Structure 1
């Protein structure tokens, strides 16, 4: 697959993170760690943590509220809702259905998509494909997670990493100024057991249940796979778009770990000062990390209408997805 035949564009964004902060100093009281150790290895200083009765749908709804308020959009005529998450409120109904009910969207499809930390990039890819095929006109793509609820806070290797948050974008039909330029996806299921949550089949493979569905990972193996795979993916994706690094205004990777992002930038030649990330004060928020990074870029007045972005999600599965898109969100005059 080369360049995308697109008839869609991203037209608005909204984000939300919980109020509670989990700092490195807080983690020092829970496990044997230190602020210096965490910053040196991950670049993380804080994470946002959902309240006990605050779930993924709550965060996603707040993100959509922010989109509506900030961009003056309405969602009553959305004809498809896609939610990328690995931490839904329930196995079913889906988070997408809960969003539909909250906003009283009368006629829409709705489903959750689980591609872990690549989920938001996959959601955008699906939304663009369905609109460009003429099957839909206005799609709400949301990435939301409450990873704190599946994190083992006695495991010093994982509890320092994860935070909660949500981001939502509108993808709308636009044949005049489409925004999707090129895409790439890939999977290496043989590495799936390097990063997983306990499930029903664990016992069949002699794997631990690791609590009530907590996250388990081999950080070293995931790190090596991600740096190697994303670097190669970018080298394949840019020619599909007919572009080079110089044509990219902003690189927006999954905010997994700042040191990993720096390594990818070094290997690809992407300047770190042309990279948007949310990891420093929000931690690894899986499917929410890319929209949270985009939201920060908008608020900090870095990201402008018409900018060319390289988005790249990667994570458990192991799976990855990259997109080159032109930013099409414009805030109305104040």
Structure 2
């Protein structure tokens, strides 16, 4: 039985269409100065060419396979984390399995919103360590744009679309050395795609879903109240302090939240991986894209990297990685 897990390959993919703050200002009452001041976001990639979540996920995975001698037939397990699936059924992971022709893999989705990649990586780690799978594909993919109400300028300006894929292998190495997960069920703070039950039998019945909505100030307050303490306690339990971490990759909610976390943890922003300025908030894909970018830009050998996700639900968690 393998004692650990290692990353074999990773990649990320974003749609080609770039939407600037000025572009948004043409369809809603906002402007570049306000958006940058409040969020730090300058641009985001938006799926305007018909690409759905499974398409982004598939392309990210295909790029990852180009970096290794492994093929889709080598994959035993596919996990897709998303809260913007192609549909309720089949799962987005099943569609990716079909697209890749990963005929030996079983596949399913995980829906923990912006904490998705952390939960997906944690889940795959368990299957690989248990010997249930030898190779796993973990993908975080979101097409947030399709769930936005563009009359809601307090939400729509934040979000972009993207995906990242990681090929994992059971190994003598041990990528995940600590973790801590939490859920506080509260659909009032952030919700998306709610489907109301019937109230009467009618020939006009047809399912309707709600657009994404968040109470921005309350989200910020919850993050400020919970996440610095959560990180500090996880590190303390493992005999570490924030100074011992080489890189932090938090959920890319907006730049102001990340700056708040850095200040509360008394760490320089140079240790925080950010991509929110160019990609916007890509929900569960943001951390995964950040880790992929980091892997391809610096040597992580011997480094400690903390991944921290938080979002709708309210669901949050961290994974401490040792490279």
TM-score, normalized by the shorter chain, greater than 0.5: yes
4+ runs deviating over 6 angstroms? none
Q: How far is the alpha carbon of 1:303 from its aligned partner?
A: 5.0
CA distance in 2, matches of 1:135, 1:285: 31
1:323 aligns with 2:319: yes
Q: 1:183 to 1:48 in 2, by over 3 A?
A: same
Determine whether 1:78 maps to 2:75. Answer: yes
**Alpha-carbon distance between aligned partners in 1 of 2:242 and 2:3, rounded to the nearest angstrom:** 22
Question: Contact 2:39–2:255 at 8 Å: present in 1 too?
Answer: yes
Which of these residues, 178, 181, 184, is aligned with residue 182 of structure 1?
178
Q: What TM-score, normalized to structure 2? A: 0.92
Cα distance in structure 2, aligned partners of 1:203 and 1:44:
40
Whether contact under 8 Å (2:232, 2:242) holds in the other structure is no
For the residues of structure 1 that align with 2:257 and 2:287, how far apart are their CA atoms?
Answer: 15
Residue-by-residue CA offset, 1:17-65 (whole Å, 9 max, x unaligned): 0000110110111111111111111000001001242100110011011
What displacement does 1:153 show?
Answer: 1.0
Partner of residue 155, structure 1: 152
Instruction: Calculate the aligned-residue CA RMSD, in Å.
Output: 1.8
Residue 281 of structure 1 pairs with residue 278 of structure 2: yes
Tell me the number of residue pairs that the alignment of Structure 1 and Structure 2 aligns. Answer: 314
Q: Counterpart in 1 of 2:246?
A: 249
Q: Aligned residue for 1:306?
A: 302
Paired position in structure 2 for 1:200: 195
Q: Distance in 2 between matches of 1:250 and 1:203?
A: 48
Distance 1:72 1:124 in 2: 22
Shift of the alpha carbon at 1:156?
1.0
> 1:173-198: CA deviations, max 9, x gaps?
012x2111100001111x33110014
* Residue in 1 that maps onto 2:204: none
Distance in 1 between residues matched to 2:210 and 2:164, nearest whole Å: 24
Residue in structure 1 matching 2:111, options 110, 114, 117: 114
Query: What residue number does 1:331 align with?
Result: none
The counterpart of 2:287, out of the listed 286, 290, 306, is 290
Q: Mind listing any 5+ residue stretches in structure 2 that lack a counterpart?
A: 200-207
> Alpha-carbon deviations, 1:70-99, whole Å to 9, x = none?
345433211100000011112111111111
The Cα shift of 1:271 comes to 1.7
CA distance in 1, matches of 2:303, 2:13: 23
3-state SS of the aligned residue for 1:321?
Answer: strand
Q: Which SS does the other structure have where 1:157 is aligned?
A: helix
Assess, with a 3 A threshold, how the Cα gap between structure 1 residues 249 and 297 changes in structure 2: closer, same or farther. same
Aligned to 1:330: none
Once residues 56 and 277 of structure 2 are traced to their aligned partners in structure 1, the CA distance between those partners, rounded to angstroms, is 20
1:266 to 242, 252, 263: 263
For structure 1, the residue ranges without an aligned partner over 5 or more in a row are: 205-210, 328-334
- The answer as to 2:185 corresponding to 1:226 is no
130-139 vs 118-127, which deviates more? 130-139
Distance, in Å, in 1 between the alignment partners of 2:302 and 2:74 is: 25
CA displacement at 1:203 relative to structure 2: 8.7
CA contact (8 A) 1:152 1:214 kept: yes
Report the TM-score when normalising by structure 1: 0.90
- Paired residue for 2:90? 93
**Cα deviation 1:266-291 (Å, max 9, x = unaligned):** 00122210111110000001010011
Q: Secondary structure at the match of 2:156?
A: coil
CA–CA distance in 1 between the matches of 2:242 and 2:194? 40
Query: Aligned-pair distance for 1:7?
Result: 1.7
Deviations 1:124-154 (A, max 9, x none): 0111112112222111100000000000111
Please tell me whether the aligned partners of residues 24 and 34 of structure 1 are also in contact (alpha carbons under 8 angstroms).
Answer: yes
Q: CA deviation at 1:242?
A: 2.6
Shift of 1:307: 2.2
